[in-house]
Structure formats: structure tokens, C-alpha cells
Amino acid sequence: MTLSDFPADPDPEVFGQRREVAASLLNGGVMLLPSAPKLYRSRDTQHRYRPDNELYYLTGVTEPGALALIRGGESPLFVLFVTQREPGAELWTGPIMGPDSAKERFEADECYAMSELHDLLPGLLKEGDWIHYRYRARVNDGLELYVKQALEDTRSTGARSGSGPRGVVDPGRILDELRLKKEECEIKRLRIAAQVSVAGNRAGAAVISPGVGEWTVEAAVEQAFRCSGGSMPAFPTIVGSGSNACVLHYIANTAIIGKDDLVLVDAGAEVGFYNGDVTRTYPASGHFTAAQKDVYEVVLAALETAIEKVGPGETIAAVHDAVTGVIVRGLRDLGVLRGSVEELLENKAYQPYYPHQTSHWLGLDVHDPGDYSSGGTPRRLEPGMVFTIEPGLYFRPVMTKDAAEHLSGIAVRIEDDVLVTEDGCEILTRGLPTSVSEIEELVGPDR
């Protein structure tokens, strides 16, 4: 797969339609969406820039140093502030769009240089009855001062005019719901991100062998992402061998793989700002031991049960419940838990070995926004929703001293990405097998 296989950037009208919906939900409010800050590794050495997801979702803007203001009500307005062109800066970091080009490209009603923010933003904020803005810790761009001043001005003078903002609202109250159900252009990107993520996992599995460094597997995974056209890893690649895999977000990747280790690879590629997220667990020797196979088959059964559960009208909670039922029965069969399934589920006796949830939403964020329940009622799944299914079992040495000592250090997680369809689900990561025999075949050279 190469960049030529990828769909083109969405048309400006896609972002325009999203803004129309957002503006209709704003009523008389204004929404303030700043760009993500530049991040520095040290001194003047920058990390590769990654745009803010909310700003991108509503505008398509990917440059740093930008700010969008969207006004709702009877006269919707889209105002964009961007960095003014500076030939000296462009020599070092590349072309800057500037106000004129940005206005045309992003179809803004008005577009100004950021240098005009001080003169124009206070008046724009006064036109809204609420300001939809998210406070950003550790970002000192001064926007909080504008928001605070707008509120203070309304408190002192707004009573007589009956106008001005009366409070601050998190923009997620509107945007989280809009982003939860994916449009076709988003689904295309998620499919490709999943395919590239699968390619990376296959490349990583191919170099797994006793004596190989976890970092070597990481390098193979991420090389495949880049060679397949993936823009970057969606998150720090996890390569956990042996008991390192019992650490859920282990990212050091500094150990040498042992002869009898399992190697958990959790990796995802970002393509067009959308993310894949896939996990497989491989035997370093190319063959599962009896104990490893027993644990693996419990987790695989939980995955398969969960996938069968997915469809319109079901809930994420029901998917998780299906998984925990299989996990509890498996832990009883493994001799780790004793008692009735009902009691063990009620007491959550599985949590020391399965401490996380089964799923998270997937999209522009690896853990995409969206409530899983509202008022205590689980959300019903609808076509267009995309999420992960990732059951696991982790036998940390500290947890197995008194029971199941033969399982000590074993950790297995299997994760797929799924899209809810009209009649069930599409497994976006189906290209990476899960059966015991197929996983063994993926590992390293022939032995």
C-alpha cells in the first residue's frame, strides 16, 4: 500500500456541512477552537506537528498558529485567524498559508492575521451568550484572558443591554456527539489506518525471536507504517515481552526477548489523522507452551464472543459483559478462580487479571470522545460507530504467588477494530489472524 492508494483530503464542503450542524447546535453561542501548540523536544528542536482534532474536524485547518471562531444563531459566522506569512520563518519550516489563501481554502466568512486578534476577538466574543471553549493546561497562548475578560465585561455591563456571554461550556458537549458516528470519508481513512496497522504488526511478528530486542520489533513495526504510507504511529508502540506485557501501557521496549516469552505487540498507524489500534500476542519460540495456549484460547474466545455481540441496538456495556462472562469461566477452568460464575461476576473477581474495559471509541483520537452511557443508561450502538474490542488476561507475578503460579508472567491481549454496520459489524483489522496456529506461523523465521 502506498500514498496513491489513499483517498484524497475531504472536500471543503464536508467541513462546511459539519460547521452548519455545529452552528445550529450553538444557538446563540460562540465556539472558540485554537490550533494545537508546537511541541519542542528541547530548546528549538520541534517535534513533528500534529493539528488539533476539534479544529481540524470543523475546518480542515492543519497549520499551527490558527484560531477558529464559529458563531451560531440567526446569523452564523465562521471567522479564522491564521499566522501571517513570514519569509524568514518559511525558510526554516516551509510555506505559511496566510490570511488571503486561508480564507479561500477553508471557505471562511472572514479571515485575519493573528496579529489582529487583540482588536477583533473581544467584539466577536461579546456576540455570543455562551462561549464554548476548553481550557488547556500548560498552554500559555493568552486565550483564557480574552474569555475571562468577556465574562467580566458582561457581568459589569451586560445586564442593561441583555447581551454578552454568561458562561463557558466545553465544546465537547456538541462536538463529541458529532464525532461519534463516522461519515463515509472518515470510514475510508479508518479502514486504511487499520490495514497499515495490520501491516506493521505482521512486520513486527516476523522479527520476533529469542534474543531479539523489543526495540527491534518496535522498529520493524514503525518502518512498516512509514513504508505503507502511514504518517506516524498513532501512539507509542508497545512491545512487551514476558512479564513486561503485564504492564498495560509498557512503552520502554528495552528488554531482550526470552526463549519462552510471549511478546505482546500493541501498535497503530495514523493515516490522514485517523487511527488504527491492533494488538496480538506472539510466542517468541514460534510455539505456545501448554499454559500459554490455555490462556490465549480464553482471550480469543472472549474476543470472538464480543464480536458476535456487536450490532445496532446493542451496547458497549453488553459487549464488555459478554467478555467478562467468558473471562470468568476461563479463569475457573484455569484453576485461578473458584465459585459460581454469577458470584464471581457480581464480585468482579476477574479484575486483578482483567483490569480494563473491553472497548474504546476510535477515530481522530485513539481514544475518541463520546459518552458510553447517559444518566446511567448505556448508549445503544448505531451504524457508523467505530471502536476497539480488546480482551486480555494478565498474570502479574505478584498476583500468582498463592494461586496459578504456573501462569506467572503470562500476559495475553488480542485487539481488533470494528465498525458497526446495518446488520452487525465489519472487522477492520481482519487481515491479521487470531487463531493459535496462524499466530505461530507469523512469528520469525522457520524453526
Active site residues: 44, 249, 266, 277, 356, 360, 367, 390, 394, 413, 415
> How far, in Å, CA of 113 to CA of 121, rounded?
12
Asked if 59 contacts 80 with a C-beta cutoff of 8 angstroms, the reply is yes
Q: Cell numbers at residue 140, please?
A: 500559555
According to DSSP, residue 380 is labeled B
No. of helices (H) and no. of strands (E), the chain: 13, 21
Euclidean distance between CA atoms 2 and 97, whole angstroms: 27
Question: Quick check: 323 and 391 in contact, CB under 8 A?
Answer: yes
Which residues face 425 on adjacent strands? 420
Q: How far apart are CA 175 and CA 53, in angstroms?
A: 10
Grid cell, residue 128, equals 455570543
The strand order across the sheet containing 386-389 reads 386-389, 416-421, 424-427
- Identify whether the C-beta of residue 391 lies closer than 8 Å to the C-beta of residue 327: yes
Report phi then psi at 90, rounded to 5. -65, -25
For 361, list phi and psi in degrees, rounded to 5.
-65, 155
Helix (H) or strand (E) holding 294: helix 290-309
Count of alpha carbons within 13 angstroms of residue 299, beta-carbon side: 29
Q: What share of the chain is helix, strand, coil (3-state, %, to 5)?
A: 40, 20, 40
Could you give the CA distance from residue 344 to residue 194 in angstroms, rounded to a whole number? 35
Handedness of CA 40, 44, 50, 54 (dihedral sign): positive
Task: Please calculate the CA angle 217-352-366 and round it to the nearest 5 degrees.
Answer: 45
Beta-strand (E) ranges in 99-214?
A: 110-113, 131-132, 168-169
Give the span between the Cα atoms of 311 and 418, in whole angstroms.
10
Partners of 81 in the beta sheet? 67, 112
